[in-house]
Amino acid sequence: MPIGPILRAMKHNRTRFALIILEIAITLAIVTNCVNMILVERRNMSRKSGFDDDNLLTISFSPFTPEFKEQTYTDAVVQSDMRAIEGMPGVKAAAVTYILPWAGGGSSGTMTAEGYGEKFQAQTYPVTPKFIETLGTKLVAGRTFRPEDTPTDPNTTPSVAIISEALAKKLWGNENPIGKVIMSNERTNPRTVIGVIGDFYNPYAWNIGEYVRFSPAKWWDGTGAVYLIRTEPGAMKSVVSQLEPRLVKINGGRTFRLQTINEVKDQFFLNSRLVITAMTAVIFVLVFVTALGILGITSLAVSERTKQIGTRRALGATRGDILTQFLTENWIVTSIGLFLGIIATYALNFALVSNLTEAKMPWYLVGVGMVLLWINGLVATIPPALRAAKVAPAVATRTV
């Protein structure tokens, strides 16, 4: 069908069509960026930590009796706790540390390394010897900590460390990291790398979720301690029910907080789920409103041009010609709106990447969005276009 007559007819209602073009452009920009952010959030939520998350739990205690002010007293309680925990049926391994997988934070520092010319940031945690076994992560090189690696004097800096494979590759590429030295920002407190663990991801700011350095140390004092416990598959419920009563029997002068790591993970991703729900609602509302706008514009056009349609039918136009006319008109309007929407999409994404997120817009997502909005526009146009196609030629002769 000739495009020229349709464009000339559209000029009589420029404002009307300009508004629907703007609506389509805004819809494409917002919908594609919302979908992109949803996909990023879903990828983050499905990311593997490298730990045995399903069988991990944590329990911490905070003392309220004055005896815990004595370090030797606290040491004795912690040692008794660990013996009790490790002796429980269903417990595979346990360690003392304040790393809480999926908590969204922890401890980090700026460091230097032998053979690496720049300073770098990594998560850093003191742990007890069985920590790697407790996490359930795989040791890909070297060895785990031994009891003798932990300094007896709490004021002495540990001399060894275990790091993640991602950090090893960042610092030394494909070189063997075993025996390399990591130091503090001031190039003091050297720690020799004795082991490397494989998959490690603990969400953290500054894009250091994959970088970690573990050191053997006592991490507890008069303010309390945090235990990380790995259970046998299927034993979680039994261990959870028995754990706190068993520790209370050892020392009742403290309060406890127990969580499974999956509960911690669910809490960490609560905001992500809310964002996904909100963005999904925005997508459906925008697409629906855009479809209503196209439906309304087309219905109004049919009502205003009923006599014109009847005249065309009287001059020999078929119902298919009338239907094609309105579908073509919609295609033109939608295409212009989508072309402007591409510009708006990348402009909005640039603003989001600059200020809020790292979710860069992939080109294929824009393409899918354009196709779906084309379909959305055509579907919204079909009901009034079919009504226009049913206009009888006799309408052209009516004066009232």
Nearest C-alpha neighbor of 32 from the set 264, 352, 265:
352
Domain range list for the chain: 3-45+270-397, 65-97+221-252, 100-218
**Torsion angle of C-alpha atoms 390, 395, 396, 398, degrees rounded to 10:** -170
Q: Report strand pairing: 108-113 vs 181-184.
A: antiparallel
pLDDT of the residue at 353 = 84
pLDDT, mean of residues 308-331: 79
pLDDT bin (cut points 50, 70, 90) of residue 296 is: confident
CATH 3.30.70 correct for 65-97+221-252: yes
Least confident interval from 58-62, 213-217, 272-276, 380-384 = 380-384
Contact call for residues 175 and 186 (beta carbons, < 8 A)? no
Give the residue from 17, 21, 40, 23 showing the smallest Cα distance to 286: 23
Q: Would the pLDDT of 327 be above 50?
A: yes
Q: Give the least confident one: 59-63, 126-130, 379-383, 390-394.
A: 390-394
Q: What is the pLDDT of residue 13?
A: 61
Q: Which of 71-75, 166-170, 186-190, 317-321 has the lowest mean pLDDT?
A: 317-321
Whole-number Å distance between alpha carbons of 80 and 67: 15
- Give the pLDDT score at 180: 96
Checking DSSP bridges between strand 116-127 and strand 212-216, what pairing results, if any?
parallel
Vertex 73, ends 71 and 75: CA angle to 5°?
70
Question: Is 298 within 8 Å of 328 (Cβ atoms)?
Answer: no
What pLDDT, on a 0 to 100 scale, did the predictor assign at position 280?
A: 94
User: pLDDT per residue over 154-208, tens digit each?
Assistant: 788 899 999 999 999 999 999 999 999 999 988 889 999 999 999 999 998 888 9
Q: Give the pLDDT mean for 275-281.
A: 93
Taking residues 100-122, report their average pLDDT.
91
- Reported as a pLDDT band with limits 50, 70 and 90, residue 400 is very low
What is the model's pLDDT at position 1?
52
Across-strand partners of 105?
Answer: none
**Predicted confidence (pLDDT) per residue in 137-149, tens digit:** 999 999 999 999 9
Quote the mean pLDDT of the chain. 89
- d(C-alpha 32, C-alpha 42), whole Å: 15
Percent of the chain's residues with pLDDT above 90:
61
| pLDDT tens by residue, 14-63 | 677 788 889 999 999 999 999 999 998 898 899 899 999 999 999 999 99
Burial of 57 (0-12, 13-18, 19+ CB in 10 A): buried
**Band (7; pLDDT cuts 50, 70, 90):** low
Q: Are 120 and 171 in contact (CB under 8 A)?
A: yes
- Separation of alpha carbons 325 and 117, rounded Å: 68
